[in-house]
Amino acid sequence: MISDGARDALSGFLEHARALRGASDNTIAAYNRDIATFLSFMSVHQGGSQGVAALARVGTPEMRSWMASERSSGTGARSLARKLSAVKSFYRWLSEREGFDATAVLSTRAPKFQAKLPRPLSVDAAKDVIDLMDVQSAEPWINARDQAVVTLLYGCGLRISEALSLTGADVPLGETLRIMGKGGKERIVPVIAAAREAVALYTRTVPFELAPDAALFRGARGGALNPRQVQKVVASVRMQLGLPASVTPHAMRHSFATHLLNAGGDLRAIQELLGHASLSTTQAYTAVDAARLMEVYRKAHPKA
């Protein structure tokens, strides 16, 4: 049972995250779910609904109890770290608004876990995936559609959601694209000739009108293309090629970053192209050995 005060506080935090931090709908939903679960646990653990005053008194023992409960219910280290991050964000905002010391919550250590490194494709495998997209359907326009989408992922480093957010107003593609990424962050990405040509072929063959305010990429019945369909066709292609299960639409974006870096691309420039907020995210995103990173460092650092 969550008290009205705690529920109002959660609603206020979610509005703050949505309005001022530009959090996506998926992030807001995850925050709501994770924090509400935490508040419910505290109500049961403390033997009564938790108002704001009671939440302000949550200390290290209560945090340890909550984390132990999560682990005993099967929550993995990675998921628990995500939930703790959401709770900390909520407490940081709440403590500033209500004027209490949230050190006990904010200093709680996240469980350690082994980060999963991205597994990009080789250059040849990426090309094979794109080429094989052309023979997956009996409908030529669907083949052209799928090939265009995957070419944008690999050729421009787009997220699948970004590629599918393009509209009829974006074609014909020019040499650059203005992309609205995560958190409402806008970036400009160059569009290689292969991507322009792939999208142009699709627009010539698609049997539906591409209105400026409607989705560019369409499903078989004319509605906006579902990302699940792209995932399915990529899965089919990777099985035909004998590639591992790690080959997904998102792996094409990983491959874009890694291949650029391996070809001598600047890490910060790649960060901008991907729309990452921090350089550390870009570094973890690219599959490159320590020697290659040191080479980039020596070339970039004025005293190296």
Please tell me the total count of domains within the chain: 2
| pLDDT score of 157 more than 60 | yes
117 in a structural domain: no
Same domain, 12 and 41: yes
Q: Which domain holds residue 223?
A: 123-300
195 in a structural domain: yes
Q: How far apart are CA 209 and CA 11, in angstroms?
A: 41
Whether 149 and 164 have beta carbons less than 8 Å apart is answered as yes
What is the residue whose two structure tokens read 């929550």? Answer: 75
Whether 123 and 155 have beta carbons less than 8 Å apart is answered as no
* Arithmetic mean of pLDDT, 120-135: 90
Single-letter amino acid code for the residue at 145: R
Same domain, 75 and 212: no
| pLDDT score of 292 more than 70 | no
For the purposes of burial, counting CB atoms within 10 Å of the CB of 263, is it exposed (0-12), middle (13-18) or buried (19 or more)?
exposed
For the purposes of burial, counting CB atoms within 10 Å of the CB of 45, is it exposed (0-12), middle (13-18) or buried (19 or more)?
middle
Cα dihedral 39, 40, 42, 46, rounded to 10, equals 140
Which residues participate in catalysis according to the annotation? 159, 182, 250, 253, 276, 285
- How much is the pTM? 0.61
pLDDT tens, residue by residue, 208-251: 999 999 999 999 999 999 999 999 999 999 999 999 888 899 88
Among 64-73, 174-183, 293-302, the range scoring the smallest mean pLDDT is: 293-302
What is the residue whose two structure tokens read 């599918």? Answer: 164
Same domain, 192 and 242: yes
The answer for residues whose C-beta is within 8 angstroms of residue 243's C-beta and 6 or more apart is: 121, 125, 129
SS3 state of residue 208: coil
Same domain, 250 and 217: yes
| pLDDT score of 115 more than 90 | no
Same domain, 54 and 10: yes
Single-letter amino acid code for the residue at 257: A
115 in a structural domain: no
112 in a structural domain: no
> Domain containing 164 — which CATH number?
1.10.443.10
Return the sign of the alpha-carbon dihedral for residues 96, 99, 104, 107: positive
